[in-house]
Structure 1
Amino acid sequence: MINESEPVKSLRNELFVKRKYDKYSLPVNDHNQAVNVSIWIRILKIVDLDIKTQILTLNAYMDLYYLTYFIMFETIELDAKYWTDEGLQWNPSDFGGQTQLIVSSDLIWKPDIGSTNSPNAFRYDQQIRESTAIVYSSGGVDWMPQTMINTYCMTDLKDYPSDRQTCEILVESTYESRFVNLQSLHSIYAHGQLSTYVSKSKLRFENREWSVVNVEAKSE
């Protein structure tokens, strides 16, 4: 059991009780302005590629970016553009200098994102819904849920056992693009430092049968 300090309790009460924060409303005061969302799917492991059912299963982090700052991965810097939740901003001096708050991601607004070529329903799974997020006084949010991704992958075995397969993960938001502008961080840095990071991390992707040889992405 975690005993929270009085400033933290007061901050939670301010954000989610007094302000009556609405997690179903876009996190901007001007709803004519689209919310820019950057997404990065970080593959941790190929769990399975079932040739019979043609289904690829991945263990991955789904990183969604809310705040503007530098992310460090080994020696690689990515200047990622995140969005700010204007309903979750506060003055740290009013809450004992508290600059961040850990919350259940189920309490805050999130872009409704899913895979459109998945055998599962287009929705967040239970593991994502029960994940936590860090909210910053600026309104920035760190949310990087780990999840299992299932997607159809039409395999071609003509070169077996030296075959290579190309699998797609089609990610969309249920929001119209005028409300949520979804961008792939892969495609933003596809020709630069991110590709270097992916290749350096290749070993962690491998299983007994398959390994990741390349990752590409584009926004449409």
Structure 2
Amino acid sequence: MQWNDYKLTWDPEKWNNIRKLHVPSDQIWIPDILLYNNADGEPHITIMSDALVYYTGAVVWKPPSIYKSFCPSNPTDNIETRYDENGKEYQFLEQGMDLSSYYPSREWDLISLTSRRHERLYPGCCGQEFYIDVTFDLSLRRKTLFYTVNL
């Protein structure tokens, strides 16, 4: 996950040519990440990890997390499920999904993975605020041979 934070900029020449820092994520602003249809009972990220902060204000944060969601399924059919994540002030870059770290499953074929960004206006204590959520649609197909052999 990457964003820019103008409050985290500095001039490297004034700071011994330091161009990036590893900063504990609980010491800086990070987006709220919440899985609405969570199957685990704990919808928030509970493990904080370091973020990489560059002198330009670019922040890269890769929190270790596993999201579990309920999906209706039939052992021999396709599964289509939706992950709804909430992130207040979350800037979603519509560059498509990055599957470079995807590891194919022995049990499932990934048919499609798409995402959509929604802005919603909610009344708040200080006036109306926009809240952003991102919906990920995931379509899987069980490999029939895997299911049959494991019966």
Query: Which bracket does the TM-score occupy, shorter chain normalised?
Result: 0.5 to 0.7
Matches of 1:97 and 1:182 in 2, distance apart? 29
User: Would the aligned equivalents of 2:8 and 2:53 in 1 still touch at CA under 8 Å?
Assistant: yes
Query: Which amino acid in the other structure matches residue 5 of structure 2?
Result: D
Residue 170 (str. 1) matches residue 107 (str. 2): no
Provide the TM-score with structure 2 as the length reference. 0.67
Matches of 1:206 and 1:189 in 2, distance apart? 22
Residue 218 (str. 1) matches residue 136 (str. 2): no
1:171 Cα deviation from its structure 2 partner:
0.6
Q: CA 1:164/1:148 → structure 2, altered by over 3 Å: closer, same or farther?
A: same
Provide the TM-score with structure 1 as the length reference. 0.48
**Secondary structure, counterpart of 1:189 in structure 2:** coil
104, 127, 130: which one aligns with 1:206 = 104
1:182 Cα deviation from its structure 2 partner:
4.1
Q: 1:7 matched to which residue of 2? A: none
Residue 150 (str. 1) matches residue 53 (str. 2): no
User: Would the aligned equivalents of 2:9 and 2:54 in 1 still touch at CA under 8 Å?
Assistant: yes
Query: Which amino acid in the other structure matches residue 65 of structure 1?
Result: Q
User: Would the aligned equivalents of 2:51 and 2:60 in 1 still touch at CA under 8 Å?
Assistant: yes
Which is richer in helix? 1
Which is richer in strand? 2
46, 49, 54: which one aligns with 1:136 = 54
Query: Which amino acid in the other structure matches residue 106 of structure 1?
Result: D
Residue 93 (str. 1) matches residue 13 (str. 2): yes
1:93 Cα deviation from its structure 2 partner:
0.8
User: Would the aligned equivalents of 2:45 and 2:65 in 1 still touch at CA under 8 Å?
Assistant: no
RMSD: 2.1
**Secondary structure, counterpart of 1:213 in structure 2:** strand
Among all aligned residue pairs of Structure 1 and Structure 2, give the percentage whose two residues are the same amino acid: 25
Matches of 2:8 and 2:60 in 1, distance apart? 13
Q: CA 1:107/1:181 → structure 2, altered by over 3 Å: closer, same or farther?
A: closer
Instruction: Count how many residue pairs are aligned between Structure 1 and Structure 2.
Output: 117
In the TM superposition, structure 1's runs of 4+ consecutive aligned residues that sit over 2 Å from their partners are 119-122, 204-208
30, 45, 49: which one aligns with 1:124 = 45
The Cα offsets for residues 123-181 of structure 1, whole Å up to 9 and x where unpaired, read as: 1122xx1x1111111111111223111111122x2xx43x21111111112x3xxxx14
Q: Can you give the 5+ residue segments of structure 2 that lack an aligned partner in the other structure? A: 119-151
